Amino acid sequence: MTKLRVLLLSLLGIWLAAPPLAAQDYPTRPVRLIIPFPPGGSNDVVGRLVASNLGERLGKQVIVENRAGAGGVIGTEIAANAAPDGYTLLVISLAHAVNPWLYPLKYDPIKAFTPIAVLATGPNVLVVHPSLPVNSVRDLVALARQKPGEVQYASAGIGSFQHLGAELFKLMAGVNLLHVPFKGGGPAMIDVVGGHSKVMFSSLVQTTPNIKAGKLKPLGVGGVKRNPVLPDVPTIAEGGVADYEAVNWWGLVAPAGTPPQIVERIYKAVAEVQAAPSVKQQFATQGADTLQMGTAEFGAFMQTEMSKWGRVVKEAKIKAE
């Protein structure tokens, strides 16, 4: 027993005392990729897709670790406190730019991290149950003006992408819809397909099967351009709510202070992964597009997103007091 403990402790000691290896040798051991959401969600799907391909290109395995909880805060906090040696990476999404406005955080969402790369983006899509007598964004706006606060929309919960996309719509179109929150996107979608809540600003991937089956009617997509998955569906901006844009994004960051050479190395590997046709196609089936952005550009993008959604959280009074 004591012998074993001594052995384990000394092994741990060796591991801890190992001198920081030169950045050019990176990586010399497997890389940990923290996904701050449970298996099965978009963050997880995107993260795992990148992990398996990134591992091949870096020459060491990239091990996915789901540290879910508190809307992504738990996993993000673990990554923020990890050693900035390139062996801990974090997959973030839109939630990263929203959480600071909703929860007390023990990390700075911008300063605690070194941005590496945007992995992909995917717009939302505004769908209604076929029983709702509207055929366009304009119809919906008119109906909502006629019956303020009566038309109900379902979301995956307070602060979710589905919730924020709808609140942004309400602010920009100047209408009032009633928010019905659920625990996750799946139950919310079931309620809308069942015709109980009538409207949802859902992620494209989750919604496409039911649109194709005629169970849900698409009114508009939330991107700046139409989406190839639904080429006949106009954008919400085209539909009359000018400049409306609600796009979820997934990105890769490392703890602040990660050596620039290592960040560069990972950035290049990610760019290669993104360029691979098989990866592009797998993203496409998820309703997402790969997007390449320089590390500095990504940092600025995070700032913009934070202020954009911060305004929505404040103006829509989403934060509970």
To another protein, the closest distance from the beta carbon of 316 in angstroms equals: 12
Neighbours of 179 (CB within 10 A): 19
Binding of another protein at residue 132 (CB under 8 A)?
A: no
Residue number, 259 or 287, with CB nearest to another protein: 287
State how far the Cα of 58 lies from the Cα of 237, in Å rounded to an integer: 41
DSSP-derived letter for residue 157 is S
Check whether the bond before 260 is cis (ω within 30° of 0): no
The H-or-E segment that residue 139 falls in is: helix 137-146
> Site for another protein (CB under 8 A): which residue of 43, 162, 203, 210?
210
Q: Give whichever of 58 and 293 is closer to another protein, judged by the CB atom.
A: 58
Q: What is the DSSP string of 10-60?
A: HHHHHHHHPPPPPGGG--SSPEEEEESS-TTSHHHHHHHHHHHHHHHHHTS
Does 280 interact with another protein (rule: CB under 8 A)? no
The 175-194 contact track toward another protein, x by CB under 8 A, reads ---x-xxxx--xx-xxx-xx
Q: Is the Cβ–Cβ distance between 49 and 283 less than 8 Å?
A: yes
Nearest CB to another protein, comparing residues 136 and 282: 282
CA distance 29 to 203: 36
Asked if 4 interacts with another protein (CB under 8 A), we say no
Taking the least distance from each CB to another protein, the nearer of 55 and 222 is 55
Pairing, β 217-221 against β 88-93: unpaired
Q: Does 317 bind another protein (CB under 8 A)?
A: no
> Which residue in 9, 13, 30, 38 binds another protein (CB under 8 A)?
38
Structure tokens, 21: 């290896």
When asked if residue 167 is in the footprint of another protein (CB under 8 A), the reply is no
Sites for another protein among residues 135-154 (CB under 8 A): 150, 152
Cα 316 from Cα 171, distance rounded (Å): 7
Taking CB under 8 A as the rule, which mask of x and - marks residues 56-95 in contact with another protein?
A: ---------xxxxxx--xx--x------------------
* Site of interaction with another protein (CB under 8 A): 38-41, 44-45, 48-49, 52, 65-70, 73-74, 77, 102, 106, 150, 152, 157-159, 178, 180-183, 186-187, 189-191, 193-197, 205, 208-210, 212-213, 215, 282, 285-286, 318-320
